[in-house]
Amino acid sequence: MPNAKEIKGRINSIKETRKITNAMYLISSNKLRKAEEELKKTRPYFNAVQKEIKRVFCVDENIENKYFYPPDGNPDLDGAYGYLVITADKGLAGAYNQNILKETVRLMQKHSGFNDELYVVGEYGRHYFTSHGINIEKSFLYTAQNPTMRRAREICYTLLDRYEQGKLVKIYIIYTDYSGSMSTRVCSTRLLPFQRAKFISGDEEQEELNRADFEFEPSLGKVLDNIVPGYITGFIYSALVDSFCSEQNARMTAMDSANTNADEILSQLSMQYNHVRQGAITQEITEVSSGARSRRAKNEREA
């Protein structure tokens, strides 16, 4: 059984660790609040661009475009897929990174046999795929901690260039969707090509779009070619911010659990320390009492 000094040392060590986990909780809480504000600013732009694409399809549902499946359905496309994976730069965020990596590996195994290309944001994902011998086509080396529209645009143009050259027939993005502090989930969404049904409005929305009379110059196809890159950029930026919010939320949850566990361990150690200390005090009292009794007995014999 450890002595009082050893237990006291463990208590001090856990208290120091708890200071670190509590500081990380507060930092993540502050970052999450700022990222949520950025996310709220992102939604209107993304929704506005999506509405303009719907307006084009409201004029002509059967328009042909390289970014969309043909009007007669979604045929199987043979060729390489591209995967954009968004992870964190570090761990200590529960199962946040592991869930993203599991989903990525599942998708890649499902489409094995082709020269698929992997694009990674975040140091954790880069380290994982490199250590497992999985080739990364392009690693966006900037940090995942500071998502910006400029970086989203760079990613978009890189992926679009491969798609337009015919090197990739489909592009997926794997990220964590943030819907509030109690709801985060890993999403694997196909960026390209788009399904037309997603941009075909319902009756009420179509009536609203038809009320405004628009002319598209030079043509509907050219307008789509200009709008879609902006839409994809907005989607990627939204995914980057979503992932950042989810990471901070996961880290807050992990640090809160660490703080709770530390409190429980400190409570147990304090009780154990008190028992050991009480036992030492009792032993000292017993030894003093025994010595006093022996002294009295000796004095009585001498008398």
| Confidence grade of residue 191 (pLDDT, cut at 50, 70, 90) | confident
Query: Exposed e or buried b for every residue in 87-115, given b needs 16+ CB within 10 A?
Result: bbbeeebbebbebbbebbeebbeeeeeee
| pTM (two decimals) | 0.77
31 within 8 A of 247, measured Cβ to Cβ: no
Over its C-alpha atoms, the chain yields an Rg (Å, rounded) of 31
Q: Give pLDDT, residue 215.
A: 67
Percent of the chain with pLDDT over 90: 2
Question: Residue 60 phi/psi, 5° resolution?
Answer: -145, 105
* CB count in 10 Å sphere of residue 232: 25
| Confidence grade of residue 187 (pLDDT, cut at 50, 70, 90) | confident
Residue from 147, 117, 300, 108 nearest 234 by CA: 147
Q: Give pLDDT, residue 174.
A: 92
160 within 8 A of 232, measured Cβ to Cβ: yes
Tokens of 71: 């009007």
Per-residue pLDDT at 248 exceeds 70: yes
| Single-letter amino acid code for the residue at 163 | Y
CA-to-CA separations, 181 to 23, 42, 89, 144, 191, in angstroms, rounded: 19, 18, 21, 20, 26
Residue from 92, 180, 83 nearest 134 by CA: 83
Q: Between 53 and 138, where is the model more confident?
A: 53
122 within 8 A of 144, measured Cβ to Cβ: yes
Q: Give pLDDT, residue 213.
A: 59
